[in-house]
Amino acid sequence: MGKKQPSRRLFTAESPADAWREIIGPWFAHNDRAWMRNTATVVLVPDRAFAAYLHGKLVAEKRNLLGIRILVPADVLSLLWPPPGDERAVVPREHALLVLAALAEAQEARAAGDGDSLAFASAEDLYAAYEILVTAGWEQIEELLPQAAAVRLRSMEETLERLGFVTPARAVRRLLEGRNGKPIGSLLIIGFDASHWHDYPILRAAVSAAEETTVCLYAPRYHSQRLDQLWVGTWEELLGPAEPVAADPGPLQPLAAAFSGVEGRPVEGCDRVGFLVAGTLRAEAEAVVLQVARLLAQDPQGRIGVLVPGYGALAREIALGLRAAGICFNDMVGRNEAAADEELRWNAWLALQQEPRIRQLLDAVDAGLTALDPDRELRLRRQMEEILQRIPGDGLPLVAAAAERPPPLCEWKELKDFLYSIRLLPAEATLAQFAACARDSLRAAGLENRGVGLEESAAILHEQIRGTISRRTFLGWLAAGRSAGRWARPPENVVPYARVHLIPYARAVWQEWTHLVCTGLTQDLWPAVGPPRPYLPENLLAELNQRSMGTGSYGEGHFILRAGRSYLVGTHDQQVLARRQFATLLEGCRRSVHLTCSRADEQDPSRRRVPGDIMSSLYYCCTSRALTEEELDRLQSGTEAFLKGGVRLNVPAEDEAGPSVPPPRQTALAFRRRRDPSRPFDEYSFCLKSPPPRPIRLHCKEWEEALQHPPLVWMRRVLGVGRALPDLDREHWTVMVGSLVHQWLAGAIRRLAADHAQRPPPSLLRSAVQEEARKTITWMQEVYRNAGQHLPVPAQSVCNQARTLAGEFAQVLAGYLPEWPTAFAEWPVPENACWTAPDHRKLYLCGRVDLLLQSRPSAEEEPSYWIVDFKTGRGSQPLTPAKLPRMLRNGEGLQLILYALAVPRAAEVRISILQPGYDMEPSVSRTDALRHTEILEELVRMQEEGIFGMRSEIRSEYGYSPEYPLATLAVPAEVLESKWRLTHPALSAPQENEENAE
């Protein structure tokens, strides 16, 4: 008896409804006894969303699913592998990346001992290109990739072969070459189009393993005619001529034809299309929710698709809005959930090991990776700050070396002991050594379960990876295999049989819809351009595709890809296919389509987004008018009226806050209060409702920040949250110059004053400063040497700049020391220092003055003092009596004025700023400051009542923007100015007469 030939049929359908009526439904009816067969009955679909759609459709029609497996392409390889005679296992992705990265590190010369190799990151790009090329049939990678990359890939394959592994791409090619040991009885392939060329090889492997195959494709469309004909033609070469399915055109088919450019303006279908243009993303989400509610009211039995570009703010806002409105929906987008406690500690451990720096250490402490009591944590943070002021680096090995040999007057033993208790991985080691160290470190961090099986996995690979690898490569392998995914769908939003479905565009194409709400149709949002693919430039993809094409067995016009090849979809192809998918959605929709977009750019409010090509084209098809700015304004006005006419969520009728107001209403109330320019700041804007038990004592320097960025000081002093230590990459280098200048001047003056009865000789000051600089630089070099590093060139530049500035300052000071012979460096403000207001309330003062000079006192009167503040930058303006009121209101120079108030028993106190390019002549005095007691009284009120408020913009477009420790919503600048004037009238903008005086 001859061997039975497999039955194979190919169909093309115009719409999902046609495919279901003629192909899919009858196929399931024919296989209703699949559970009785010995072979598998399989349905192959492109994604889980289509699988859920099929399940819902079959359940609604009471079809039998017993024995039928609905799979996606990722499931097919595990079903078919291994073929007879092949015992290799498909390699996990992280193992292949580790082998590839280890080979790269062995071939390339990297900085020895830094542990900072980027081989694992580059291995991901190279491996992705390898998978694409080999799966598509381009196995001769030496001809397509750089020689070094191709050599590494061949070595990777040989290494994996010796370990008993095969890559997924090679496994697919192997399945296409021979017979499969796990044949499929009946196979149905549906939902795939020309955008799924990357799945074609595994689909073909499934066809070769099936006894009966039914494939239903979408008929070619105008938008992507070349790609569709190539897709269908290649399947026809494999399965035979495609049989067209009888079509039942939907009501929007003429509109889809016009959108595709095949016909003129349609005569019907335009009344089924609506356009909503919102000013903001939130307003767009509200309009979408309201539109869905109306569609449900008009058509309770309809199936509504809310299409979004993908995961993002818009999808999240729509999901929250649907849930708040009580609309049951099926969320096929999901969200990035907050990590669980263990996942937070795991991520903190990875970050600390990968980049052992102070910032990562503090994040690990905050995540609970190390147990510290609050007092000890505070002491350690202070010691870290001291070290950052003395060395231009924050790597933990460097900090530990500094703590091991601290300079005079510094005590860092507690920090040294703490750093040595942290188990850091070495910069480089063998895989087995890394696994052992990681196991011990994870156990010490309370993450034992993350290390389960680690040494066993390492032992398997260690047979072929015998050399050393970098720390970053090991951690990349560890994270790839043991990090839990945080992508999830909230259980309350997973309702597969709901009428409303929140779904990305690409996953909605082959489903039947009654109504569609297409959102996010702004330029560059959808269709979006994918990220660039290293090693696969567009010209290479075009060349390979051209070499793959040929003419099929049905003659001229039958375009196919040659056997064993797959099409490589480029960036332009993605745009074409996205437009084609949208036309398909129009054809498959039975009732109405609503298109939405927003005009505001959430990342840059000063810019306005424009609608994308799809929305503009469809608007022209429906109205014969271009979507100009005037049209957008008109549509936005209509959308605002649409929102006002809809049912809105209830909000508190009275603008009263209290414990009885539910949390959601509290949020709405807080939002309105913060933006009400007619009200002063209240408890929703960094103010206490009632005075604190004890006054909020601030350092003199903090008062400047309290007037410039009040929320930062309020959060730090009231809530106990503040910004982390400065980031080396952003601020540390500039701060370091000023820190060194202060240290050297203070050290030199302190040493000379101690040797000469508090009267440093002017002639010795400059040489003493240079000696302090020499000792500090020598200590730095020793610290770097003990840490196995060299003092970097930027650090040497910082030291040279600081030494030059310190020498200049010393020369200026030496000219004034004869008249002001007594000097106190780093003079601490007396413990109980305060300023008493006219109403007898006290402003408490504390801090440390850079330099306090004392004149030669006479026998009859108190001595005079001169406060000198060192500023190494050029941004500070000199203090003058005319500018003093305005500067104090803005928090400029306030620190020095408060220092002057703290000096006891003085005939007069002068104040000066010593900075490059300016003389040190006295600018203002304490007498000048006491003329503006209303400003000082307002500081007393802030201290006593805890009423701060908000002043500057959170993110300034041009100026300095501090880092807020808590998420804070921005408020318009004009609103802040009005509320500040009502809350702190004495600290508001200067009056006109003051400006004229300046």
**Cα-based angle 471, 477, 480 (whole degrees, multiple of 5):** 135
Give residue 183's pLDDT band: very low, low, confident or very high (50, 70, 90): confident
Which DSSP state fits 92? P
Report the pLDDT averaged over residues 788-795. 87
d(CA 313, CA 327): 19
pLDDT digits (tens, 9 = 90+) for 802-843: 999 999 999 999 988 988 899 999 999 998 899 999 999 999
d(CA 943, CA 694): 9
CA dist 511 → 19, 54, 588, 593 (Å): 10, 9, 8, 15
Contact partners, residue 99, CB within 8 Å, separation at least 6 = 156, 159, 160, 461, 464, 465
Q: Which two tokens stand for residue 647?
A: 């049912």
- Fill in the amino acid letter for 640: E
pTM above 0.75, yes or no: yes
Q: Which two tokens stand for residue 569?
A: 């979809």
What 3 state SS string does 236-255 have?
HHHHCCCEECCCCCCCCHHH
DSSP alpha helices (H): ranges in 756-856? 762-786, 793-814
Instruction: Give residue 222's pLDDT.
Output: 67
Higher pLDDT: 193 or 963? It is: 193
Q: Which two tokens stand for residue 277?
A: 């243009």
Q: Which SS3 state, helix, strand or coil, does residue 653 take?
A: coil
Give residue 45's pLDDT band: very low, low, confident or very high (50, 70, 90): very high
d(CA 646, CA 666): 23
Q: In this structure, how many other beta carbons lie within 10 angstroms of the beta carbon of residue 30? A: 13
Is the per-residue pLDDT at 281 higher than 80? Answer: yes
Q: Which residue ranges form the domains of the chain, and what is each CATH number?
A: 7-84+179-244 (3.40.50.300), 93-161 (no CATH), 253-337+491-547+576-644 (3.40.50.300), 650-677 (no CATH), 728-997 (no CATH)
Give residue 2's pLDDT band: very low, low, confident or very high (50, 70, 90): very low
**Cα-based angle 370, 373, 378 (whole degrees, multiple of 5):** 95
- Pick from 746, 748, 737: nearest CA to 868: 746
If you average pLDDT over each of 109-123, 326-340, 756-770, which comes out highest?
756-770
d(CA 561, CA 327): 47
Contact 320, 288 (CB under 8 A): no
d(CA 909, CA 905): 10
DSSP alpha helices (H): ranges in 389-484? 396-404, 413-421, 431-444, 454-462, 471-482
Is the per-residue pLDDT at 289 higher than 90? Answer: yes
Instruction: Give residue 687's pLDDT.
Output: 94
Q: In this structure, how many other beta carbons lie within 10 angstroms of the beta carbon of residue 2? A: 4
Contact 235, 242 (CB under 8 A): yes
Q: Which two tokens stand for residue 176?
A: 């296409």
Give residue 111's pLDDT band: very low, low, confident or very high (50, 70, 90): very low
Q: In this structure, how many other beta carbons lie within 10 angstroms of the beta carbon of residue 306? A: 30
Is the per-residue pLDDT at 651 higher than 50? Answer: no
pLDDT digits (tens, 9 = 90+) for 373-416: 888 888 888 888 888 888 888 889 999 999 998 888 788 899 99
Report which secondary-structure segment, H or E, holds 937: helix 933-945
Which DSSP state fits 532? P
Tell me whether the omega of the peptide bond preceding residue 397 falls within 30 degrees of 0, making it cis.
Answer: no
Contact 180, 88 (CB under 8 A): no
d(CA 615, CA 594): 10
Contact 527, 579 (CB under 8 A): yes
Report the pLDDT averaged over residues 168-179. 87
Report the pLDDT averaged over residues 423-431. 90
Q: In the chain, what's the furthest Cα-to-Cα distance? A: 131
Report the pLDDT averaged over residues 26-39. 89
| pLDDT mean across residues, the chain | 86
Instruction: Give residue 395's pLDDT.
Output: 87
- Fill in the amino acid letter for 415: L
pLDDT digits (tens, 9 = 90+) for 555-584: 888 889 988 899 999 988 988 888 888 988
Contact 221, 228 (CB under 8 A): yes
- Pick from 23, 30, 19: nearest CA to 9: 23
Is the per-residue pLDDT at 295 higher than 60? Answer: yes
Contact 276, 519 (CB under 8 A): no
pLDDT digits (tens, 9 = 90+) for 706-750: 999 999 999 999 988 876 555 555 556 677 888 899 999 999 999
Is the per-residue pLDDT at 95 higher than 80? Answer: yes
- Pick from 488, 480, 465, 455: nearest CA to 350: 480
Q: Determine if residue 314 is left, alpha or beta; phi over 0 gives left, psi from -120 to 50 gives alpha, anything else beta.
A: alpha
